Homo-oligomer: A and B are copies of this chain.
Amino acid sequence: MSDFSCYKVGRQLIPEIDVLLKKRFRILQAIHAAGPLGRRTLADFLHVTEREVRNETTLLHEQQLIEIGQKGMICTQLGYEVLEQLKPLYYELSGLAQKEQQLAEKFGIERVIIIPGSFRSEASRILLGKEASKWLVKLVQEGSKIAVTGGSSVAAIAPYLQPVDSMPSVKFIAARGGIGEEMSLQANILVSQFAKACHASYKTLFMPEFLSEQAYVAMKAEPSVQEIIRLYEEVDIVLHGIGTADEMAEKRGSSEADKALLTEKGAVGEAFGYYFDAEGRIVHQIRTICIQPEHVKQSRYVLAIAGGEEKAKAIEAYFKNAARQTIFITDEAAANEML
């Protein structure tokens, strides 16, 4: 699966396959991703008419790519194989492959993966979760130490992590303390979920986000904190999201004065607790224990996850000054915004 020459020739005689392939691929992919579901749900999901879904699914059923039960439609093994084999072609057709390439070059990083659609939609977040989990499994080695930040994008991975042979020896490490009230999206919660999902161990770092100078120094001297700082130095893989500056400030419940200060300094994005401006320069950082940029640069791989058109500017800024060994998973909406 790498040579589409016969497809490209065939397309000259049968131009309609392009749209057909895309349509059906999307539907099959959605069925595969969203498990058993019915016509109407699927139609809402993909923003197409029920009729269209019905037409295509009956065909997919005839082709034995899906099974139809009373709980809804489900993707067969054959369907999954077709999906896997046609994925590069689909990406090619949708121009996603090209956009991935362009972004990777623009940012000067290892690889960019674009998920069709927008992370705002359920469908894309499912695909995101599967894709990110696939990469994580691919990158992980015996005894890997994985630093994890919070955020909804990173959280999307959780449902799709599965135990793998090498997994019991890996360790998930909270890259920093929690933020705001959304407990379920905190780094601490996520590492425990991840670890549980794949039978690995984990290390949390419970600590307030805003510390006074004295408290900060005092905490840093604590043995338990010393230990996690040492761990940060040995991190193999960093798994993190990227946020917009105002969104993060909002979530952290920053004061109006602080927000104004951030704006004044030109902060547009946030990652690992660091705010950076449009040029990727760090303009502010939270005084808390967290993984340091130099640790990130030293790690073997960085898996960055962020999507949604509203984050486009923050992402572009972040990658002005990011680790080369980054693999970035984003969505079509953000990718289009950035190109």
Contact = CB atoms under 8 A, between A and B. Distances in A.
A4 B5 CA distance: 9
A171 to B, nearest CB: 40
Interface stretch (A81-89, A173-181, A219-227): A81-89
Q: How many copies does the complex hold?
A: 2
B89 A12 contact: no
A102 interface: no
A21 B25 contact: no
A135 to B, nearest CB: 24
Nearest to A86: B9
Contacts of A65: 12-13
A9 B82 contact: yes
Contacts of A85: 6, 9
Contacts of A28: 13
Chain B CB within 10 Å, residue with most, of A1, A13, A17, A85: A13
Given A14-B21, A24-B14, A82-B12, A6 B63 contact: no
Nearest to A65: B12
A9 B7 CA distance: 11
Contacts of A5: 1
Contacts of A7: 6-7, 10
Contact of A20 (B3, B14, B21, B78): B14
30 contacts: A1-B6, A3-B3, A3-B6, A4-B6, A6-B85, A7-B7, A7-B10, A9-B82, A9-B85, A9-B86, A10-B86, A10-B89, A12-B65, A12-B78, A12-B82, A13-B21, A13-B24, A13-B25, A13-B28, A13-B60, A13-B65, A13-B82, A13-B86, A14-B17, A14-B20, A14-B21, A14-B24, A15-B59, A15-B62, A15-B63
Given A13-B21, A13-B63, 18 more contacts: A1-B5, A3-B6, A6-B89, A7-B10, A9-B85, A9-B86, A10-B86, A12-B65, A13-B20, A13-B24, A13-B28, A13-B60, A13-B65, A13-B86, A14-B21, A14-B24, A15-B62, A17-B17
Interface of A: 1, 3-7, 9-10, 12-17, 20-21, 24-25, 28, 59-60, 62-63, 65, 78, 82, 85-86, 89
Nearest first, the 8 A-B pairs at minimum CB distance are A9-B85, A13-B24, A12-B82, A14-B20, A6-B7, A12-B63, A4-B6, A14-B17
